[in-house]
Structure 1
Amino acid sequence: MTPLGIRQYDGKILSRNKETGVSNVDEARMALGGRLRELRVAAEVSGKQLAESLSWQPSKVSKIENGKQTPSSDDIREWARATNSEDETAGLLASLHTLEVQRAEWQRVLRGGIRPRQNALAELDQKTRLFRVFEAGVIPGLLQTSEYARARFAEAIRIYKLKNDINEAVAGRMKRQDIFYRPDKQFHFVLTEAALRFRMCSLPVMLGQLDRLVSLSALPNVKLGIIGFETQYTASPWHGFWIFDDEKVLVETFSAGLNLPQPEEIELYSTIFNELASVASYGRAARAVITRVIDDLSKQSPAQ
């Protein structure tokens, strides 16, 4: 890592934003806004006039055109109608759909509850043969016990003020784990020791979760790597990410899930995953780290 936040791999220099896919999303939003501005200018309509005709705040037009706000499908249709460019509607909506797929905002994605999101992920699971997953601070969903998953969903419901379908969501996540027993699926998980120690649920739940990791690590199609605290990293563990085959990368932030389908993005994240995987411990060594954490947490349990 350089002082300017630039990382170089294989002679390629990439900005920090590029690594998280943020630049691609911003560029797509700005491109859409620029196209909408062109249609407004061609129609000889000022931003103020357009806003008034659509009963919008004047600032909304400016925010959309400058890529500061993502328009809705209705916004696109109304804009095209107001600028006499309805023949452009289909193309504009296609651009919006691409943007929405790249940046799935949680408030929009989870509007109908958490279970539909689990259903969508289950569909992706069915299409994927090789899962490569890195998590720095949380146990990945596919590895979670029902109690740990319930704690994570309760957090999401509280923070995002979502519909409470927690029982259905937990059932959906547990159902997804059936794919572990399909021989055509391969899984490679890399977790930091911090992910095993963060107190994100009660001690009994966390102890059960760690025991579950030990059990799953014994499955023939599961490769579980643990990066202990004493390990010297060769790549910074900035954030978690999932790589589905060589088709897409999913990065989850507090505000949205970033879907990164570009070959150069997949290549970059594959390189980073390999760097992290190369310093992880596997097999008995990985289980030794988990057992060490279990012993430490057990000493803190009131039952002991």
Structure 2
Amino acid sequence: MSTDYQQARASLGVRLRGLRFSCPSGRLTGQQLAQRLGWAGSKVSKLENGKQTATPEDLRAWADATEQPGVYAELAARLAGFESHIRSWRRALANGFKPLHEGLSAEIDRTSDIWVWEESVVAGLLQTPEYTRHVIQRYSNLLGGAADIEDAVRSRVQRQEWLYRPGHTMHVLLWEAALRSLICPPSVLATQLDRLTGMIGMDTVELGVIPFTAPVKIVPANGFWLLDDRVVVTEDWHAEVWLDDSESVTLYTKVWKTLRESAVYGADAHNVISTARQALKSH
């Protein structure tokens, strides 16, 4: 978790404690507040000490229980301010996959250049619909709470129109593992690899592959998208993280450029993809 995010969560916790102390009918202990809310006392402690992220419902209940309902708007604004950078999958998927895809699509629409690093999956803008379907299904099985897989597939496919607009360039780096991970049936992966082969040489796509045998200067992990020079979008198992501070953008740019030193392009990239394609015949 980023330091800025943790500091913001801790600051919100201090504010919540202050509300408990300033309850109009008298200062409340943590246990008294927990009883009013019907919560375990540990939850009050975790929220006040920045160890747990409040939900909007938690904040409204806290404001009401401390007899200060008018502060809810302020609390909600604080939460929105730091959650806009770390978007919990659990909460986001309560509304399905499609809104998640549409949110990123809106940001991509105003982007001219995208730099992508993916270590274990083919980048979304280069995916075939069937490959996309299997990837999203795997996440749905893991995270639950989303049944709109077909809507999400259509949304991701529509996003690919970006590749065919003048003035756009996608700079993609894939580790060889992304060409071999059987997140889908071999026949689906074969079609996906054929598509990648066809994209080599496209005016709007610069596709590099880092072979397993290539020496690397940093660990090939943690996929991310860098949109122009303003925001980085990366993912972890618990959340999608958006970073827009200059230090983070500079760091991820450096990471991408360092990884690029190990990549092959053109005919060499074609050979790596073709080798992965041939290996599928044994499955």
TM class by smaller structure: over 0.9
- Report the number of matched residues: 280
Aligned residue identity for 1:279: S
Is contact 1:243-1:249 (8 Å) kept? yes
Secondary structure at 2:209 match in 1? strand
Identity %, equivalent residues: 38
Alpha-carbon deviations, 1:208-233, whole Å to 9, x = none? 11111111222101111100111111
Secondary structure at 2:122 match in 1? coil
Secondary structure at 1:167 match in 2? helix
Determine if the alignment matches structure 1 residue 183 to structure 2 residue 163: no
So what's the TM-score if we normalise by structure 2?
A: 0.93
Aligned pair in 2 of structure 1 residues 87, 167: CA closer, same or farther (>3 Å)? closer
Aligned residue identity for 2:197: V
Q: Report the aligned-residue RMSD.
A: 1.6
Determine if the alignment matches structure 1 residue 112 to structure 2 residue 92: no
Instruction: Give the one of 72, 75, 82 matched to 1:89.
Output: 72
What's 1:242 paired with? 225
Q: Distance in 1 between matches of 2:147 and 2:66?
A: 42
What's 1:146 paired with? 129
What's 1:164 paired with? 147
Alpha-carbon deviations, 1:54-98, whole Å to 9, x = none? 222222111111222211223222323333544543332211002
Determine if the alignment matches structure 1 residue 284 to structure 2 residue 264: no
Determine if the alignment matches structure 1 residue 34 to structure 2 residue 14: yes
Q: Distance in 2 between matches of 1:157 and 1:276?
A: 30
Unaligned runs of 5+ in 1: 1-20
Q: Distance in 2 between matches of 1:185 and 1:90?
A: 40
Unaligned runs of 5+ in 2: none
Secondary structure at 1:235 match in 2? coil
Q: Distance in 1 between matches of 2:113 and 2:124?
A: 16
Q: Distance in 1 between matches of 2:57 and 2:276?
A: 52
Instruction: Give the one of 246, 249, 252 matched to 1:269.
Output: 252
Q: Where does 1:194-233 land on structure 2 (aligned, <5 Å)?
A: 194-233=177-216
Q: Distance in 2 between matches of 1:239 and 1:259?
A: 14
Q: Note the C-alpha offset of 1:41.
A: 2.6
Alpha-carbon deviations, 1:227-275, whole Å to 9, x = none? 0111111122221111111221111111111111211111111111110
